[in-house]
Structures are given as C-alpha cells and as structure tokens.
Chain A
C-alpha cells in the first residue's frame, strides 16, 4: 500500500517536472493530441491551463474558442471565428498552428544531418539554421566539427517571404550570416522583446549581387503577445521571448553562424562527410600551391568569375604573380576552418579560416573568408576577402 502510494507520488513528481519543462508549444501539441483522441474535455482543460500560464498566446485562445464552440455547434473549420473579421487575421494564426504542429510531429531523423553544415570550426560552439518553409530555427551543437541538433524553435519571418534584395522589401535574406552584435533589452523598445542579435546581412555575396538593406536581427516579441504569425516581420527572425532567451545562451557574437534557407535538406552523414572531404582537399591543395610559389597552379584555384572588392580575376592574377615572384619562401597555415554550404546554391560553400601567412617579406595572421563554387568537377574560388 505504502509502496503503491510512493509509486504514484513518484509518477506525479515526474509529471509535474515534465509540465515544468514542457514548452508552450509542447503543451499546445498535447491539446491537439487530446482533440485527436476525442478527449475534448481534457483538451479544454489543457488549453485553459496553457492560457493561464501564457495569457498572450493567441493561438491557444483560438483553439480554446474552437473547443468551446464545438460544445455549442459543429465546427466548420479550424479557427471557426463567427464574427466578420479580415480572413488574413485568422489565417496567420492557422498558419502558426500548422507550422508548430508540423515541427512537433515531423522531427528530423536522428541519423540525418543538414547538408548545409559541412564543418563547424572549433570555436563555434553552436550554429543556427533557419528553415523558412517550416518557420523553424534549429540550433546545432558542435560535436568535433559535426552538428548535433539540440533545440528548435518556431520563428516569424518577413511578411513577403524570403530572399531579400532591397531595403524595405519586407523579406528575410537567404544565405550564410553571422551574429554580429548583442543588443540587450534595456537598449530596445518593447517591440523587440527580450533582446536582439543583429546578423551580417548584407554579406560579401549580397553586396556583390547588389543587394541592399540592413538591420536584419534575431529578436523577441512585444510583451502583449506570446508569438507572431509565421510571416509578419519586416525581414527579421522573430522568436517568442522565452525562446530568444534560450537561443541567447548559445550565441557567440562574431562566431555563431545563422544560415537561412528555404528548406533544410537532411542528408546521410556519409554523403555530407564526402562533400566535406572533397572541399577540404581542394582547400588544402590551394594552401599547398600557394606555399610552393607555383603561381600558375595556385591561380588555377580561382574562377574566371572571381572578384574581390574591385579586383577581377585578371587584376588579382597580376597582383599575385608579382607578389609571389618577389618571395624566396612562403609558409601558409590554416586553422579554425568552417565550411557552410550556401542555401539555394548547387555546390556553393562559404569557407572561413584563420590564415597564418609567413614569408621572407611580410608575415600576418588574419581571418579569411572564401566563397567556393564547383565548376565542372573542380572547386574554384569566386570570392576571397577578410572574414
């Protein structure tokens, strides 16, 4: 008898611990589970409790409205609002419900890895990937260079979708970016919620394509809402304040990559590793050829469409021939190499590393960034500059 009581006490304890760690989204999902199991009273109880704890979770109110209305009459649709309101108001919440449910139900398989992350550098403790179609931000930890999914969050993106090109187009950029700053709550208005992390849009590639605009941030939400619809920002990546606080723990300003894609492709780890090796080999060959002062071989690593600042390939080649010819020895060391595929590019990778350059003339250590593109069977550099 006592043992039984203890057993139940333990279960109750475990359950209450579970409730404490369950996110509002987990709890919303459990509401839907109860609805699917045709336990509507239980569903209503759960959503009531959720609203008690998160009174600004508008989607929860919508679900609660449905559960109550279903007691009065059959529902015609999800979000069966009876009043005449602009449909887009309800559609935003419906879209949020779908995004959140899908994220809860279609978890990435544990034996797959995102194709976008070829290699994280030793200093990068985490990487953020945004899947715009799923309205989701995934946080990966760095397991000896390999990404390991540790958390994921619902996000709001630009009103007009993705692939930002112009200032004011209310789109979220697609590309490989880095967190460049940390703006604490005290420095912001309530609109940005619990904080903001600017990212490096427009990056080298955006500028090369003539894209402009600025001020793309990861940030929170105003205090009167829990979350916003999937497409509602002016291009920023918006998280619930509690989620932003969680994400903040992973951020290293200047280090943490934020890769924004249409859709994250989850691939066989062996295939990702093969990609990584292929590019790592090209990078190593580039280093070796530079060090050998065989300028012709070194220049073969550069694409005809190469550009760096206002130098095109011809200008770059002329400059390198002149510099290399003046040296009697060169030593190049690479460290802290990170390699991320560029979203939407076929074989297009941003490579960042510490370059330790020594020669009989100049010696320097710098952070360098290159954009590598596969042309035919060969990886070629299309951009190179300070990282």
Chain B
C-alpha cells in the first residue's frame, strides 16, 4: 500500500507503525521541526509547538506526521473543532492508520458523543486489530454508553456531566526504532503537563544520592537481574496477582496519563480484576543500561485476555531502588 505524499514508506499489515516518514523520507529540516514540536508539546509549550508544526506543514502540507501532531496540539489547546477536521481528514487520506481514529474518538468522547467515539474506535481496531490503546479506550466508551443506556432505562437525569473523560489521546502516529524511544505515549486529553516534567527531576535526584557514597564498587552486569524482574512483572500480571504486579512499579513511577498514583493503581486494579484470565508473554527483549541505576528494556509483548488479544512493542524504564530491587519507573507502549 503506497501512502500518498510519503515518498518511501509502505505500511506492513498488522503493524502499528507508520515509520516516522519525516526521518526517513523528507528533508532533515522537516524532521527537525517535527522533533522540536514534539519536544515542545511534551514540555507543555503548545503555542511554540504549533509554530514548528506549521512550519513543517508549510513545507509539506500533506505530511501525516505533522498534521497528526497539529491535531494533538490543537486538542490539548482545546481547539477541538479544528482538531476534529484534521483527524477526520487524516482518516480519509490514510484510512489504514489507527491513531487518527483513536484521537477522533477521544475528542468525541470528551464532548459526550459516545456513539461517534465508538464508531471511530471500532474503525481504529478494524484497521489494527492489535491496537491496545484503542481497545482500552473502546472499553471506556462502552462503559459510558452502557451508563447512558441505564440512565434511559431508569429515566435518570441526563446531567451526568461529572464523569470525566479518561480516554487516552495518542500523541504520535509512528513508533520509530529511532533512539528517541517515544512510542505512542498515552496521555489524557487534558494532561497535567507539569507531570511530564516531574520524572526527570526525580531521576536527577538519584545520581545525587549515589554521589554520597563515593567510589562505588564496579557493579556486575545487571542484565540478567533486569530480565528476571521483567519476567516476574509479566508473571504477576498473568496471575492477576495485583499486589505483586503493582510492587514492580517504583514509588516515583511516571503514570502514563500523569494521573495520581492512587488513581492509576485503581484503574489497573479494575482492568486486571475485570479480566477473567490474562496471559502476558514477552519476547525479543533488549536491555540498555543507562549507568548503574537505570535501564531501558524494549520487548514485544503478547497480551491475551478473555476479552482481547494484543501484540505490541513495549519499553520499560527501570531504576534500581536503594534496597537493590529493579523497579519500573516508566512504561511506554505503542
């Protein structure tokens, strides 16, 4: 399948990846603009991010990556009408991409248009049956629709505006194998952007504490230990041993939506308890050490529950706690 305006890339069926076409095809300048825009978006500087994206779009108006990013920025800025236009147009121009559907759904859901959100998510899944984010979002949309149906059944007030939309907006189309390992990072529609800045600060404290003990003994290669940790995490998840599963996450774990730890734990509990059976398989794991106390593990994750199956790529950032255990500090999927 050839994508118009994207010089080389072809989409392999079943793969959630439109390789960052900017990096591969277009000029380096375009790639830079998009990369800058991405960084600025993550830093919460929407206006500046938009400027860079617009520059990229001036050079290449049909570029899906840039258009998508613009949609994300506008969504987060509250420019939902224009964002809907952008994502809708993307679904027309690139019907094989699941992400624009997902984000359309997120916007619709935030407006309380759950039937539209459902249609978009179902399309997203139709294009990519293993797209876990869309599945999770769809689950939330179904729950919302169910709640509306119950309200009609019981003739309750329609004033249930209190329920916050907690669907995940996807920020990027492509998950490139590039060192910038930002996959489709799950963020809520209105993320607390400051949360994104917290973890680096927390990480920064670690080396400081290490410095208190000068001349640490050369550590043995911890790769085996790290892999053991990741396998243990997958097993706890598979066994639905929620407490053990949660214990694999560091105290300063960067929750995917920037939500409070307690809220995230609650969601995880509900999701895991909600499944009758879960099996999580891990393959092709690759460990990268970043110093002695931090490591990045990338792998293929085969998730299978009584409700859905998803094969996806996952990256865990682990850190070594003072008591010597490796714990998950970040979890990224796409």
Which residues on A are within 8 Å of B, measured CB to CB?
A: 58-59, 61-62, 64-69, 71-74, 79-83, 85, 89-90, 93
Q: Please tell me if the beta carbons of A62 and B138 are within 8 angstroms of each other in the complex.
A: no
Q: Please tell me if the beta carbons of B142 and A93 are within 8 angstroms of each other in the complex.
A: no
Q: Chain B residues with Cβ under 8 A from A79's Cβ?
A: 150, 153
How many Å lie between the Cα of A187 and that of B150 in the bound state? 34
For the complex of A and B, 8 pairs with smallest distance between CB atoms? A65-B149, A69-B146, A62-B153, A61-B153, A68-B146, A61-B152, A72-B143, A73-B274
Q: Please tell me if the beta carbons of A81 and B154 are within 8 angstroms of each other in the complex.
A: yes
Q: Mark B145-182, 1 if CB is under 8 A from A, else 0.
A: 11111111111100000000000000000000000000
Q: Does B36 contact A (CB under 8 A)?
A: no
Q: Chain B residues with Cβ under 8 A from A67's Cβ?
A: 146
Q: Chain A residues with Cβ under 8 A from B142's Cβ?
A: 68-69, 71-72
Which residues on B are within 8 Å of A, measured CB to CB?
A: 138-140, 142-143, 145-156, 270, 274, 276, 307
Since A61-B150, A64-B146, A65-B145 are in contact, a sample of 7 more A-B pairs with Cβ atoms closer than 8 Å, ordered by chain A residue number, is A62-B153, A65-B148, A68-B145, A69-B142, A69-B146, A72-B143, A79-B150
21 pairs, CB–CB < 8 Å, chain A vs chain B: A58-B154, A61-B149, A61-B150, A62-B149, A62-B150, A65-B146, A67-B146, A71-B139, A72-B140, A72-B146, A72-B274, A73-B139, A73-B143, A74-B274, A81-B154, A82-B143, A82-B146, A82-B147, A82-B150, A83-B150, A83-B156
User: Chain A residue with minimal CB distance to B136?
Assistant: A72
- State how many angstroms separate the Cβ of B105 from the closest Cβ of chain A: 14
Q: Please tell me if the beta carbons of B140 and A65 are within 8 angstroms of each other in the complex.
A: no
User: Chain A residue with minimal CB distance to B141?
Assistant: A72
- State how many angstroms separate the Cβ of B254 from the closest Cβ of chain A: 26
Q: Chain B residues with Cβ under 8 A from A83's Cβ?
A: 147, 150-151, 156
- State how many angstroms separate the Cβ of B11 from the closest Cβ of chain A: 27
How many Å lie between the Cα of A58 and that of B155 in the bound state? 8
- State how many angstroms separate the Cβ of B143 from the closest Cβ of chain A: 4
**Total A-B residue pairs with C-beta atoms closer than 8 Å?**
68
User: Chain B residue with minimal CB distance to A69?
Assistant: B146
Q: Chain A residues with Cβ under 8 A from B150's Cβ?
A: 61-62, 65, 79, 81-83
Q: Chain B residues with Cβ under 8 A from A82's Cβ?
A: 143, 146-147, 150
Q: Chain B residues with Cβ under 8 A from A69's Cβ?
A: 142-143, 146
How many Å lie between the Cα of A80 and that of B152 in the bound state? 14
How many Å lie between the Cα of A72 and that of B138 in the bound state? 8
Among the listed B149, B151, B154, B156, which residue makes an inter-chain contact with A68, where contact means beta carbons less than 8 Å apart?
B149
Residue from B143, B149, B156, B274 whose CB has the most chain A CB atoms within 10 Å: B149
- State how many angstroms separate the Cβ of B315 from the closest Cβ of chain A: 27
Q: Chain A residues with Cβ under 8 A from B155's Cβ?
A: 58
Residue from A72, A74, A79, A82 whose CB has the most chain B CB atoms within 10 Å: A72
How many Å lie between the Cα of A73 and that of B139 in the bound state? 8
Q: Chain B residues with Cβ under 8 A from A66's Cβ?
A: 146
How many Å lie between the Cα of A64 and that of B151 in the bound state? 11
- State how many angstroms separate the Cβ of B140 from the closest Cβ of chain A: 7
Q: Please tell me if the beta carbons of B154 and A89 are within 8 angstroms of each other in the complex.
A: yes
Q: Chain B residues with Cβ under 8 A from A61's Cβ?
A: 149-150, 152-153
Q: Please tell me if the beta carbons of A90 and B154 are within 8 angstroms of each other in the complex.
A: yes
How many Å lie between the Cα of A26 and that of B140 in the bound state? 31
- State how many angstroms separate the Cβ of B60 from the closest Cβ of chain A: 39
How many Å lie between the Cα of A82 and that of B276 in the bound state? 19
Q: Please tell me if the beta carbons of A58 and B276 are within 8 angstroms of each other in the complex.
A: no
How many Å lie between the Cα of A79 and that of B138 in the bound state? 21
- State how many angstroms separate the Cβ of B274 from the closest Cβ of chain A: 4
Knowing A58-B154, A74-B274, A89-B154, say if A64 contacts B139 (CB, 8 Å): no
Q: Please tell me if the beta carbons of A58 and B143 are within 8 angstroms of each other in the complex.
A: no
- State how many angstroms separate the Cβ of A225 from the closest Cβ of chain B: 8
Q: Chain B residues with Cβ under 8 A from A62's Cβ?
A: 149-150, 153-154
Q: Chain A residues with Cβ under 8 A from B140's Cβ?
A: 72
How many Å lie between the Cα of A165 and that of B145 in the bound state? 45
Q: Chain A residues with Cβ under 8 A from B307's Cβ?
A: 71
User: Chain A residue with minimal CB distance to B274?
Assistant: A73
How many Å lie between the Cα of A58 and that of B149 in the bound state? 9
Knowing A68-B145, A68-B146, A83-B147, say if A74 contacts B276 (CB, 8 Å): yes
- State how many angstroms separate the Cβ of A67 from the closest Cβ of chain B: 8
- State how many angstroms separate the Cβ of A286 from the closest Cβ of chain B: 56
User: Chain A residue with minimal CB distance to B114?
Assistant: A68
Q: Chain B residues with Cβ under 8 A from A64's Cβ?
A: 146, 149
Q: Chain A residues with Cβ under 8 A from B152's Cβ?
A: 58, 61
Residue from B148, B154, B307 whose CB has the most chain A CB atoms within 10 Å: B154
Q: Chain B residues with Cβ under 8 A from A59's Cβ?
A: 153
- State how many angstroms separate the Cβ of B80 from the closest Cβ of chain A: 24
- State how many angstroms separate the Cβ of B39 from the closest Cβ of chain A: 35
How many Å lie between the Cα of A69 and that of B146 in the bound state? 5
How many Å lie between the Cα of A67 and that of B149 in the bound state? 10
- State how many angstroms separate the Cβ of B113 from the closest Cβ of chain A: 15
Among the listed A72, A81, A89, A90, which residue makes an inter-chain contact with B139, where contact means beta carbons less than 8 Å apart?
A72
